[in-house]
Structure 1
Amino acid sequence: MITTNPFDDDKLREECGIFGVSGAETASAMVALGLHALQHRGQEAAGITSWDGHDFHTHRAMGHVAGNFDRDEVIRGLPGDTACGHVRYSTTGETSLRNVQPLYAELNSGGFAVAHNGNISNAMKVRRELIRRGSIFQSTSDTEVIIHLVATSNYRTLLDKFIDALKQIEGAYSLIVMTPEGMIACRDPLGIRPLVMGKLGDSIIFASETVALDVVGADYVRSIDPGELVIVTKDGEMRSIRPFGEVHPRPCIFEHVYFSRPDSIIDNSSVYSVRKAIGAQLAIENPVEADYVIPVPDSGVPAAIGYAQESGIPFELGIIRSHYIGRTFIQPGDKVRHLGVKLKHNANRALIQGKRIVLIDDSIVRGTTSLKIVQMMREAGAAEVHMRIASPPTKHSCFYGVDTPERTKLLAHKLDIGGMQDFIHADSLAFISIDGLYKALGEAKRADIRPQYCDACFTGDYPTKLTDQDEAVVENQFELLAERVS
């Protein structure tokens, strides 16, 4: 039976990746390349929609970009000089083709395609109201509420309808929208999810990360600002509007810790350099005597380099990762299932036998992978195993486009650090402090009022309303009360 790798379940899942091109002869081919570079942000499904000046064309498929969009006949079926694409890992809505983006609909004003990275935290409430008013939904994705809000808006122009829709939703969104009038790229007023703009000749490009610009040979221009809409008309004219007034940005801090590729630039900072700085700060806050600093590949590598440089302990590759294991593999039984981590990671026994080692990882979610990794080190003969984590304890769920387990399944919610250390059987366990993380990002510390980043997964300080979540809690309390009364 093919099933989900249980050890991938011990990482915070990447959200989604979006990429759009306006004014390029080979727009859909360029989008396919861009999506390849963003594949780490979503591996369940991918889609591309193009506009040829008369008609919209869409191809969506389950699985990776490779194998679905590297065939000539697929790209030929997506003609036009404007296109946008999406790679998906579902955070809201079931895993099925009807939820694969870009989502497309024929509105009174013409075709409307949207690619969304993030999560709308009042989508269920808005959806119920729209259905009550007669809307018919074709997917279970939160993104579709945007289309219906645009379609039912009483404003006259399409742009005003779109702004009206945005003002009715809460949560996190980076969007690329295509209409017969052109392309719109925007971020929510807090800028929780990333979006950047680039240029290649006369073509304007939007992407979740700068690495996607690099792959297509485009120059990075700037980030789309929180609350900003950038409109590119079909004639290539570009303008920017900011309909939300004054904003107080709270971009996702976990982009710097784990989600973004290390060769990307976020908010004018190199992700790789930031992760090294996090590792250095981790070493300052949590030193330990050891023989080697060893990363848990691949996400722990830059932080481990920073830790090693700051501490003076040699950096070594004590765990070797197989790059040929995807997110699925065959599990014929529980015994083999528990050996699954060795398909992905294996100890470099000759190096670590008899040594005191410091393992560096980006985070601990459920703790199952950390437990297996520590056990693997001990079986390979490590004298001591110390674990250092390049983020604070993950105690809270994310509702902004990151698929985190329920809060009750987060190890840091259930146990204090001593309890977590005992659970993973490490000789010591320590995390970077929240102020230390901010320091590594160039801030003096975390601001008490209006923090500089969204760090809700660590602090529980959610920067927006959580309408659907709050309503679900109330409904659950009523159900529990009804059960007691009965």
Structure 2
Amino acid sequence: PIDVATMTYYGLYALQHRGQESAGIAVADGEKIDIHKGLGLITEAFKPEDLSKLQGHIAVGHVRYSTAGGKGIENAQPIVSTSKIGSIAMAHNGNLVNDDVIRELLEDAGQIFHTSTDSEVIACLIARSAKKGLAKAVVDAMSAIRGSFALTIMSKDKLIGARDPHGIRPLSLGKIEEGYILTSESCALDAIGAELIRDIEPGEIVIIDADGIQSYRYSENTKCQTCAFEYIYFARPDSRIDGLEVHTTRVKAGEQLFKEHPLDADIVIAVPDSGIPAAIGYAKASGIPFDTGFIKNRYVGRTFISPSQEIRERAVAVKLNPLKVNLEGKRVILIDDSIV
């Protein structure tokens, strides 16, 4: 049998670039759900003994970059709720725009919230409708919430994936041996030796259980509007999202930049790492050589997803040092992925 907790751990390791504040894995064994969460990187949040305690045949994992709610352990995911059909674990990537209204309505009805995240609002909606069956409960919740969401939801015997009608956040389906995998990016499938089957479509819900996999469209009003920042920054360059290779889109962005802003210089350099493919594209289109301009400290995390401006500024100073031997006396074109 597949060790689902360890496999999820390595999958999250491949997705570490998506969030560095906390990590968690929940596992279902057909009877109950066990969970372990910790602050920091996946290697800080989990020790080998934590993984060995997570035994089961379905797992849901999450690495967190906070967009709503503080960065404390209480806001770490997956979120586990109790319901009429037993425990439900959920991991959410995205941002809701109407969670405050729903939270207020639920609180007026006596609901107690344990976190300050928009994700818990979704978990509560699902748990409240669970007596209709997990799939129906998820569809009901989807019709109430507005915003971006890619969700993985697990009961004791089912795994469900759902994507918002605009497909703002990515969600891919993979396969390994007899098992199915849902993941934010295909690079996690590569890391565990799984095969990418396809992307979950905007407005689609997939249900995976002992009988196999079923797919439904819960919304007809759909349009694929993947967040451009996935291609520019968030995703790893070796991932494929909605049929596009991330690395290729970044190189093409650099080529397009030269068409729109052609400059003459001696060298093209990048702000590593996410600026490199665009710089390669600019160099290719312009004929100006690409070379290394900065040496990066590999032990500083992703600075854009640090929680405060002060931390971001301090981290950048430690993170990058110019390679003077390549730059002195030269006309330099410096390319970054964005101005964020």
Given the two structures, how large is their TM-score scaled by the length of structure 2?
0.94
1:302 aligns with 2:277: yes
Distance 1:200 1:296, change over 3 A: same
Distance 1:121 1:354, change over 3 A: same
1:60 aligns with 2:41: no
Helix, strand or coil: the match of 2:80? strand
Shift of residue 236 of structure 1? 4.3
Residue identity matched to 1:47 = G
C-alpha separation in 2, matches of 1:105 and 1:129: 18
* 1:347 equivalent in structure 2: 322
Helix, strand or coil: the match of 2:8? helix
Helix, strand or coil: the match of 1:35? helix
Q: Which runs of 5+ in 1 are unaligned?
A: 1-23, 329-336, 366-486
Residue identity matched to 1:191 = G
Residue identity matched to 1:92 = A
- Aligned counterparts, 1:308-457, within 5 A: 308-326=283-301, 341-365=316-340
Given the two structures, how large is their TM-score scaled by the length of structure 1?
0.66
Shift of residue 154 of structure 1? 8.7
Residue identity matched to 1:98 = E
Helix, strand or coil: the match of 1:67? helix
Shift of residue 43 of structure 1? 0.1
* 1:408 equivalent in structure 2: none
* 1:420 equivalent in structure 2: none
C-alpha separation in 1, matches of 2:263 and 2:127: 59
Residue identity matched to 1:60 = K
Deviations 1:145-203 (A, max 9, x none): 11222233397333212211110000000000001231100100111000001001101
Distance 1:341 1:182, change over 3 A: closer
C-alpha separation in 1, matches of 2:268 and 2:230: 24
Helix, strand or coil: the match of 1:275? helix
* 1:253 equivalent in structure 2: 228
C-alpha separation in 1, matches of 2:283 and 2:241: 24
Helix, strand or coil: the match of 2:45? coil
The answer to whether the 8 Å contact 1:25/1:80 transfers is no
* 2:21 equivalent in structure 1: 44
C-alpha separation in 2, matches of 1:72 and 1:340: 30
Identity %: 45
Q: Which runs of 5+ in 2 are unaligned?
A: 304-311
* 1:125 equivalent in structure 2: 101
Residue identity matched to 1:62 = L
C-alpha separation in 1, matches of 2:104 and 2:337: 39
Residue identity matched to 1:26 = D
Q: CA RMSD in A?
A: 1.7
Give the number of the structure with larger relative contact order, counting CA–CA contacts within 8 Å between residues 6 or more apart: 1
Helix, strand or coil: the match of 1:197? strand
- Select which of 95, 116, 121 maps to 2:92: 116
Larger radius of gyration: 1
Shift of residue 246 of structure 1? 3.8
C-alpha separation in 2, matches of 1:338 and 1:189: 36
Distance 1:89 1:339, change over 3 A: closer
